[in-house]
């Protein structure tokens, strides 16, 4: 794969999940996460079933399990926070291994861990099976304002450029013997940030002029309109519908 | 801090989502006006706001080392509001949060509304309102822009923590009391806010030194440039060989003047600033000791607690000064706990200061009288 044309979270493939239109997938993931969040935390088995559902999607998308698990690591800060919770929460205490833990705190930690992990896993699956451009077009088809989609696409498109610019400035600083060690060096770093802002803004002005000279008048034409037929919607809806069934079971049992 | 899924319950998530959507819709209109400028129309919005969002995304990765291996990074709400205006600021930070949520799974999808309400809207709006107010009050100088951005960034971060606590009180799923969350969040975020304020003020200062026209918050502050030609051009005109040096000298003088302006405060400020820093330090110490110490935890501090738990302090003898009038950080014969603690703190600060300065002055006088030391010191002092 050529660099720069796909984000590193995307994994190229030809599975049925990759083939689904982006807006179906976004809607399905969003509905799924909302259902997961509204499931009662006492229904522990329901979260197990959700995990099985996501595992099924992973298999259908032919993604290696290691890839998805590695991407889940982004969750680590929340895990640390959740682990703290049994110690600070109120309510009746339990004594496990000589530690005094709050019962409701344990439930709270479980709640955040389970729902947070499932949410992260769902977004990881979405990002891994959908190309960036399609993701943005999918958001536009889901009635997100076109201007917002354009801003987001410019941000993604130039995010790497600006990050690279920052990296070059860092190399320039380092090669002149600068090493930031403490608060005293913030002035230099902040000046770099200021210069980065000026460069970004001026690049924006140049990009705008280049676009205007190519006939841009406020909208980017969509050349490949993707429409979803009934079968695609049905297969995308399989995940949230199954989750909804689990959720309803969780409330009634 | 990005809120994950499941931290806030579903109804409140949906409600904050509606708030965020409404705010973004309003910002889309406002950003056209802010970035349009000069009758160019709204089509400038997308590339400029997109690049500013990319900048915020990048600058959040710039690490500012604090001390001993820890480092912080900018959140960017206040910076965006001051540099590009409040509407564009809300828009850019929201887009960054949206992309972080959808692409990098950083922050939950259902918590997107919470994250935008708290990190994009609150920081930007609070920072901008405060900034505008301060700029109106302070004298119309560049330095007041820096001061105003410092204060507004300082307040914006705890304000976001406050809004988060409010959302948590409405729909938090964890069973931690709101008071505890408030204390922890606001406490931590006051510290973060100090770093944010310093970085924001320095960055705004750096931009304003180079391109003051780009700083939205400083618009209307700089006078329009005037063309001054007459006095320089006349003497240079007659002699052909003299034209070149005169013409060269004029820009050189101009650039010198331009350079001297930002540079001049640094050397001039040095002798003044020590006194100011000193006074500010004393004031802060007195406020902490006298006022805030009352709110400090009454339970024994970490070391004392460990000592108590391990039974170390059984062998501990009472301190020789336990009958002193200031024992256990309170003044004898004053029953009001707040007054007593505060007074003891103030007296303590005063005594520490007196002893410290005394030692310092003695050491300095001795070094000054000692001829060998004086000789060494003179080049340094000049």
Q: Where are the alpha helices (DSSP H) in B175-264?
A: 178-210, 230-236, 240-263
Whether residues A30 and A61 share a domain: the answer is yes
Name the DSSP letter for residue B8. Answer: B
Q: Is residue A22 part of a domain?
A: yes
Q: Is residue A7 part of a domain?
A: no
Quote the pTM value: 0.70
Burial of B280 (0-12, 13-18, 19+ CB in 10 A): exposed
How many whole angstroms separate alpha carbon B145 and alpha carbon A220?
A: 38
Judging contacts by C-beta atoms under 8 Å, the chain B residues touching residue A187 are 202
* CA distances to B77, B162, B190, B293, B299 from B187, in Å: 19, 10, 5, 14, 18
Of A140-149, B69-78, B265-274, where does the model show the most confidence?
Answer: A140-149
Q: What is the predicted pLDDT for the residue at A3?
A: 46
Of A55-69, A81-95, B217-231, B278-292, where does the model show the most confidence?
Answer: A55-69
Q: Residue B99: which of A108, A155, A198 has the nearest Cβ?
A: A155
Q: Domain spans of chain B?
A: 10-218, 268-290+322-382
A22 is in which domain, residue-wise?
16-139+227-252
For strands A99-102 and A93-96, give the pairing.
antiparallel
Q: Is residue A131 part of a domain?
A: yes
Q: What is the pLDDT of residues B30-53, one digit of tens each?
A: 888 887 655 555 677 888 888 999
Residue A107: both structure tokens together = 């439930």
pLDDT band at B138, cuts 50/70/90?
A: confident
* Cβ distance of B103 and A135 shorter than 8 Å: yes
Q: Who contacts B136 (Cβ-Cβ below 8 Å, separation ≥6)?
A: none
Q: Who contacts A188 (Cβ-Cβ below 8 Å, separation ≥6)?
A: A173, A178, A180
Whether residues A131 and A193 share a domain: the answer is no
| Partner B contacted by A157 (CB < 8 A) | yes
* Cβ distance of A147 and B45 shorter than 8 Å: yes
Q: Is residue A208 part of a domain?
A: yes
* Cβ distance of B64 and A186 shorter than 8 Å: yes
| Per-window interface: B 74-103 vs A, CB < 8 A | 74, 83-84, 91-92, 95-96, 98-99, 101-103
Strand partners, B269: none
For an interface test with B, which of A138, A182, A197, A217 has the most B Cβ atoms less than 10 Å from its Cβ?
A197
Q: If DSSP codes are grouped into helix, strand and coil, which group holds residue B320? A: coil
| Partner A contacted by B39 (CB < 8 A) | no
Residue-averaged pLDDT of chain B: 73
* Cβ distance of B199 and A200 shorter than 8 Å: no
Judging contacts by C-beta atoms under 8 Å, the chain B residues touching residue A119 are 4-6, 105, 108-110
* CA distances to A168, A170, B64 from A175, in Å: 10, 9, 18
Q: What is the predicted pLDDT for the residue at B267?
A: 43
Q: Burial letters for A93-118: b for 16+ Cβ neighbours within 10 Å, e otherwise?
A: eeeeeeeebbebbbbbbbbbbbbbbb
Strand partners, A102: A93
| Partner A contacted by B375 (CB < 8 A) | no
Of A41-50, A218-227, B234-243, B295-304, where does the model show the most confidence?
Answer: A41-50
Q: Give the mean pLDDT of B336-349.
A: 64
Q: What is the pLDDT of residues A115-128, one digit of tens each?
A: 888 888 888 888 88
pLDDT band at B366, cuts 50/70/90?
A: low
Residue-averaged pLDDT of chain A: 83
Nearest CA in chain A to B80: A197
Whether residues A120 and A241 share a domain: the answer is yes
Q: What is the pLDDT of residues B122-133, one digit of tens each?
A: 999 999 999 999
* Cβ distance of A150 and B210 shorter than 8 Å: no
Please give the CATH topology (third level) of the domain spanning B10-218: Arp2/3 complex 21 kDa subunit ARPC3 (1.10.1760)
Whether residues A89 and A155 share a domain: the answer is no
Whether residues A129 and A34 share a domain: the answer is yes
Q: Residue B83: which of A114, A124, A197 has the nearest Cβ?
A: A197
Q: What is the predicted pLDDT for the residue at A217?
A: 77
> Which of B3, B159, B17, B174 is CA-nearest to residue B78?
B159
Q: What is the pLDDT of residues B265-281, one digit of tens each?
A: 444 444 445 566 667 76
Burial of B235 (0-12, 13-18, 19+ CB in 10 A): exposed
Q: Who contacts B187 (Cβ-Cβ below 8 Å, separation ≥6)?
A: none
Q: Is residue A2 part of a domain?
A: no
Q: Give the mean pLDDT of B196-210.
A: 90
Q: Is residue A126 part of a domain?
A: yes
Chain A nearest C-alpha distance from B33 (Å): 14
Q: Is pLDDT larger for residue B223 or for residue B251?
A: B223
| Partner A contacted by B204 (CB < 8 A) | yes
> Which of B169, B172, B158 is CA-nearest to residue B4?
B172
Of A76-80, A219-223, B151-155, where does the model show the most confidence?
Answer: B151-155
Q: Is residue A62 part of a domain?
A: yes
Whether residues A150 and A128 share a domain: the answer is no
- The domain tally of chain A equals 2
Q: Is residue A32 part of a domain?
A: yes
Whether residues A123 and A89 share a domain: the answer is yes
**In this model, does residue B370 exceed pLDDT 80?**
no
Judging contacts by C-beta atoms under 8 Å, the chain A residues touching residue B211 are 198
Q: Give the mean pLDDT of B328-347.
A: 61
State how far Cα B282 lies from the chain centre: 20
pLDDT band at A183, cuts 50/70/90?
A: confident
Q: What is the predicted pLDDT for the residue at B131?
A: 92
**In this model, does residue B317 exceed pLDDT 60?**
no
Q: Is pLDDT larger for residue B174 or for residue A232?
A: A232
Whether residues A74 and A48 share a domain: the answer is yes
Q: What is the pLDDT of residues A80-104, one digit of tens each?
A: 777 777 777 766 666 666 666 777 7
How many whole angstroms separate alpha carbon A120 and alpha carbon B101?
A: 9
Whether residues A59 and A120 share a domain: the answer is yes
pLDDT band at B364, cuts 50/70/90?
A: low
* CA distances to A109, A180, A239, A249, B110 from A116, in Å: 10, 35, 18, 21, 10
Whether residues A69 and A181 share a domain: the answer is no
pLDDT band at B21, cuts 50/70/90?
A: very high
Q: What is the predicted pLDDT for the residue at B243?
A: 45
Nearest CA in chain A to B53: A155
How many whole angstroms separate alpha carbon A93 and alpha carbon A115?
A: 24
Chain A nearest C-alpha distance from B19 (Å): 15
* CA distances to A220, B203, B360 from B354, in Å: 70, 38, 10
**In this model, does residue B368 exceed pLDDT 60?**
no
């Amino acid at each position: 794969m050529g660099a720069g044309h796909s984000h590193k979270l995307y994994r190229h493939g030809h599975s049925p999940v990759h083939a689904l239109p982006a807006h179906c997938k976004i809607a399905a993931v969003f509905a799924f996460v909302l259902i997961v969040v509204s499931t009662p935390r006492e229904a522990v088995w329901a979260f197990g079933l959700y995990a099985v559902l996501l595992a099924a999607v992973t298999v259908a998308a032919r993604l290696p399990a290691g890839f998805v698990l590695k991407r889940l690591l982004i969750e680590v800060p929340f895990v640390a926070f959740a682990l703290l919770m049994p110690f600070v929460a109120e309510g009746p205490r339990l004594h496990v291994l000589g530690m005094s833990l709050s019962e409701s705190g344990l439930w709270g930690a479980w709640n955040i861990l389970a729902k947070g992990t499932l949410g992260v896993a769902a977004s990881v699956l979405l990002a891994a099976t959908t190309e960036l451009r399609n993701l943005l077009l999918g958001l536009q088809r889901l009635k997100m304002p076109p201007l917002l989609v354009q801003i987001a696409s410019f941000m993604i498109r130039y995010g790497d450029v600006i990050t690279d610019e920052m990296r070059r400035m860092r190399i320039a600083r380092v090669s002149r013997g600068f090493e930031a060690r403490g608060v005293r060096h913030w002035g230099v770093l902040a000046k770099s940030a200021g210069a980065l802002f000026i460069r970004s803004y001026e690049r924006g002005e140049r990009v705008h002029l280049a676009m205007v000279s190519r006939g841009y008048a406020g909208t980017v034409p969509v050349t490949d309109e993707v429409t979803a037929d009934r079968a695609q919607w049905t297969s995308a809806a399989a995940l949230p519908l199954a989750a909804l069934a689990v959720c309803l079971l969780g409330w009634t049992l | 801090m990005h809120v994950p899924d499941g931290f806030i319950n579903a109804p409140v998530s949906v409600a904050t989502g509606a708030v965020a959507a409404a705010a973004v819709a309003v910002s889309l209109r406002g950003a056209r006006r802010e970035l349009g400028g000069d009758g160019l129309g709204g089509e400038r919005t997308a590339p400029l706001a997109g690049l500013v969002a990319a900048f915020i995304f990048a600058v959040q990765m710039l690490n500012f080392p604090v001390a001993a291996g820890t480092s912080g990074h900018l959140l960017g709400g206040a910076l965006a509001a001051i540099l590009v205006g409040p509407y564009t600021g809300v828009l850019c930070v929201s887009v960054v949060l949206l992309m972080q949520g959808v692409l990098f799974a950083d922050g939950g999808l259902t918590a997107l509304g919470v994250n935008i309400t708290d990190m994009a809207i609150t920081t930007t709006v609070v920072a901008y309102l405060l900034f505008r107010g301060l700029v109106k009050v302070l004298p119309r100088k560049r330095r007041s822009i820096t001061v105003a951005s410092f204060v507004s960034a300082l307040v914006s971060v705890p304000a976001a923590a406050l809004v988060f606590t409010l959302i948590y009180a409405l729909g938090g799923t964890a069973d931690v009391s709101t008071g505890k969350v408030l204390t922890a969040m606001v406490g931590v975020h006051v510290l973060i806010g100090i770093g944010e304020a310093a970085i924001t003020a320095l960055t705004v200062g750096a931009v304003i030194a180079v391109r003051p026209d780009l700083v939205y918050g400083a618009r209307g502050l700089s006078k329009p440039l005037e063309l001054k030609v007459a006095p320089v051009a006349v003497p240079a005109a007659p002699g052909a060989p003299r034209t070149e040096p005169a013409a060269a000298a004029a820009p050189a003088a101009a650039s010198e003047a331009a350079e001297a302006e930002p540079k001049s405060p640094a050397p001039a400020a040095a002798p003044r600033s020590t006194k100011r820093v000193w006074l500010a330090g004393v004031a802060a110490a007195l406020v902490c000791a006298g006022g805030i110490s009352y709110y400090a935890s009454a339970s024994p501090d970490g070391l004392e607690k460990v000592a108590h738990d391990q039974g170390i302090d059984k062998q501990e003898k009472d301190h020789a000064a336990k009958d002193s009038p200031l024992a256990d950080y309170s003044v004898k014969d004053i029953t009001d706990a707040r007054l007593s603690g505060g007074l003891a703190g103030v007296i303590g600060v005063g005594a520490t200061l007196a002893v410290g300065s005394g030692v310092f002055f003695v050491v300095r006088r001795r070094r000054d009288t000692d001829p060998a030391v004086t000789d060494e010191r003179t080049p340094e002092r000049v």
